[in-house]
Structure 1
Amino acid sequence: MQFALPPRKTPIAPPYARSSRFSLQRRKQFKAVAILGFALLVVFFLLSQLFYTSTGTSAVPVGTPSVVIVTVLDRAGFSNEYTQKIVKNREDYAKRHGYINFFANVSDYETALDEAPKSWTVVPAVRHAMASHPYSEYFFHLGAHALIMNPTKSLESHVLEKSRLESLMRKDASVVPPDSIIKTFSHIQAQDVDLIITTDNEDMNPGSFVLKQGDFAKFFLDLWFDPLYRTYNFAKAETHVLDHIVQWHPTILARLALIPQRVINAYSKVSSAATTDGTYKEGDFVIRFPGCDTDTKRSCEKEMTPYYRLWSEKLKNE
């Protein structure tokens, strides 16, 4: 007697098996996508760091000069010969070290001055230079009545290199001579510095200074050029305003380095405001003739002539 066998049942997979298989595959896909995304982020970060500069701008164009030399000329007040001497002196220096010049003219900023003394043009001129060269890092303002006497010294090796600047910085020194109670910070380091300047025997002197491109520079120049200060009739215009804002604004003092006068701002022997060791000596980087354009007993062209001749002779002998 045969018994009917029950029909063979086809095994049925648990309802979650297919779902589990797809979940595992999906997790693998998500993991692969996550790894790929992370890798792309790392590559993007590395590339951004490669092209990032300390000025806060990316992709600096090839050949961008690190230093821009800013000189404000008064073409209406200077003779053509005198102007050409200044221009030739600056161009020679810039060419030697791969820098670039920014020659401004007093008349370019007459409207912005609002009848303030034309010596104020230093501020908008530097700001103009920064806008014209947004990828350059340092801006070296040197007044027109000055000559670079030792062009072999690059600004980097002479002032800007970290170890060099550290050795030059005057810490815990009176901001305004001779005995201002406001002093430079003793803890400031070279990497914190955005403004490098000197004092003479009377004031902080803006005839020669170095300013680093960045947000601080914009803030500093805007504050310095505030209309309230320009109309206040300070005895020495922008110079006394600079004395004022450095003493009353710790934000500026915290980014400032005072260095010995002769490093970038040696005065001619006729200039009485030089510090004890601030008068020009052979081998110094620059010589300036402050006051030669305001003292009726002096002549900028006559004072510069022997030094220009000396500088020219050095060029011929190189």
Structure 2
Amino acid sequence: MHFALPPRKTSNPPPYLPRSNRLPTLRRSRLKLIAITGLFFLTVIYLLTRGNGHPKLKKRMPTGNPPVVLVTVFDEAKYGKGYLDAIKENRIQYAEKHGYQTFFANIGDYDLKGAPGSWTKVVAMRHALTKYPECHFLWYLDQNAFVMNPQLKIEDHIMKTAKLTDLMKKDHSVVPPDSIIKTFAHLTGQDVDFVLTQDKEGLSVGSFIVRNGEWGEFFLDTWFDPIYRSYNFQKAEAHALEHIVQWHPTILARLAIIDQRLLNSYSQGNKGDQYRDGDIAVRLVDCVSAGAQACETESQRFTQQWRTSFGKF
């Protein structure tokens, strides 16, 4: 059997040809073009921000009209009309007393791409920002809760800078009891755009406040990211939030955790701090797992109370 041999190298190679100097010339031309373009954009940025003695451009601040939007998501297929009407009446009366607005959404209003319906709260908050772009704050409050103290205004009770500086828990474990990720110790109220509480199980997403602004939009968009919605977290958006704040310093740096009774008291004390007269709101957390009828039954002892309080204010 014969095998083909590789061709021999010629004994008379072609004469050496020097490399063309065209490539370096082209390279120099491109570098020059890039440099000129970069200088142009830097000049434009300078003129827009500092040139001719003009001050830096500042982002537009909301006017505060309305000061607060109270957001609630309803499950009309699960709860009776009488119960839901009482919740809506509670929100509307409280909002009217302080010049706030309400934003009501329903489970099923948005395409969650198969995610649990509890994610509706996040997209509803983002929708409310679009509808009320001039508000200062959004307060999300679950459908299993009542505003109980009509005298307390969110912007004074919690979100005033000096007040929030005193209320926020610093160097505090984000997820109880002993998370190694803790809130920043150096933050003040003016640094905070997201306020919530904890209960005995973790971060509580049944009542929380988001400040309107670029960061607030970024935060809600991040929380609602399809990656988190598609991941099988045991408690859906609640556990997704715990993941986000522990792994993303950009979120943690704008977060404040405050005492539960300031924003999110529970009707029973087995899962968190129990409601006392004077607290701003009460949530009927135990009734949720027991069924819709249980929530309607438990709500009756608070309905007359808040109506009486609102009548005095």
- Distance apart, 1:297 and its partner CA: 9.6
- Distance apart, 1:293 and its partner CA: 2.4
| Residue in structure 2 matching 1:54, options 45, 51, 61 | 61
1:88-134 deviations in Å (ceiling 9; x for gaps): 1111111111111011111211x2x1221111101100000001111
Find the counterpart in structure 1 of residue 287 from structure 2.
292
SS of the residue corresponding to residue 287 of structure 2 reads coil
Give the Cα separation in 1 of the matches to 2:198 and 2:293.
22
Give the Cα separation in 2 of the matches to 1:162 and 1:202.
28
Give the Cα separation in 2 of the matches to 1:132 and 1:115.
25
SS of the residue corresponding to residue 265 of structure 2 reads coil
Give the Cα separation in 1 of the matches to 2:210 and 2:256.
11
1:64 aligns with 2:65: yes
Q: Give the partner amino acid of 1:74.
A: D
Q: Give the partner amino acid of 2:195.
A: I
- Distance apart, 1:73 and its partner CA: 1.2
Give the Cα separation in 2 of the matches to 1:204 and 1:314.
29
Find the counterpart in structure 1 of residue 274 from structure 2.
279
- Distance apart, 1:290 and its partner CA: 2.1
- What number of residue pairs does the alignment pair up? 262
Q: Give the partner amino acid of 2:261.
A: R
Q: CA RMSD in A?
A: 2.2
* Shift in alpha-carbon separation, 1:79–1:182, aligned structure 2, 3 A: same
Find the counterpart in structure 2 of residue 262 from structure 1.
261
Give the Cα separation in 2 of the matches to 1:232 and 1:256.
23
Find the counterpart in structure 2 of residue 131 from structure 1.
130
Find the counterpart in structure 2 of residue 94 from structure 1.
95
> Which has more radius of gyration?
1
- TM-score, L = length of structure 1: 0.77
Find the counterpart in structure 1 of residue 18 from structure 2.
none
Give the Cα separation in 1 of the matches to 2:95 and 2:311.
18
Give the Cα separation in 2 of the matches to 1:114 and 1:299.
30
Once the two structures are superposed, the pairs formed by residues 227-242 of structure 1 within 5 Å of their partners are 227-242=226-241
1:271-299 deviations in Å (ceiling 9; x for gaps): 6320xxx1111111100012522334971
* Shift in alpha-carbon separation, 1:194–1:185, aligned structure 2, 3 A: same
Give the Cα separation in 2 of the matches to 1:317 and 1:246.
40
Q: Give the partner amino acid of 2:282.
A: I
SS of the residue corresponding to residue 169 of structure 2 reads coil
SS of the residue corresponding to residue 207 of structure 1 reads strand
- Distance apart, 1:317 and its partner CA: 4.5
* Shift in alpha-carbon separation, 1:297–1:64, aligned structure 2, 3 A: closer
Find the counterpart in structure 1 of residue 81 from structure 2.
80
Q: Which runs of 5 or more structure 1 residues have no equivalent in the other structure?
A: 1-40
Contact 2:91–2:102 under 8 Å retained in 1: yes
1:184-204 deviations in Å (ceiling 9; x for gaps): 000011111110111111111
- Distance apart, 1:76 and its partner CA: 2.4
- Distance apart, 1:229 and its partner CA: 1.6
Once the two structures are superposed, the pairs formed by residues 80-229 of structure 1 within 5 Å of their partners are 80-109=81-110, 111=111, 113-229=112-228
1:29-51 deviations in Å (ceiling 9; x for gaps): xxxxxxxxxxxx99x97xx98xx
Give the Cα separation in 1 of the matches to 2:169 and 2:117.
31
Give the Cα separation in 2 of the matches to 1:304 and 1:169.
30
Contact 2:73–2:105 under 8 Å retained in 1: yes
**Deviates further, 218-227 or 185-194:** 218-227
Q: Give the partner amino acid of 1:293.
A: V
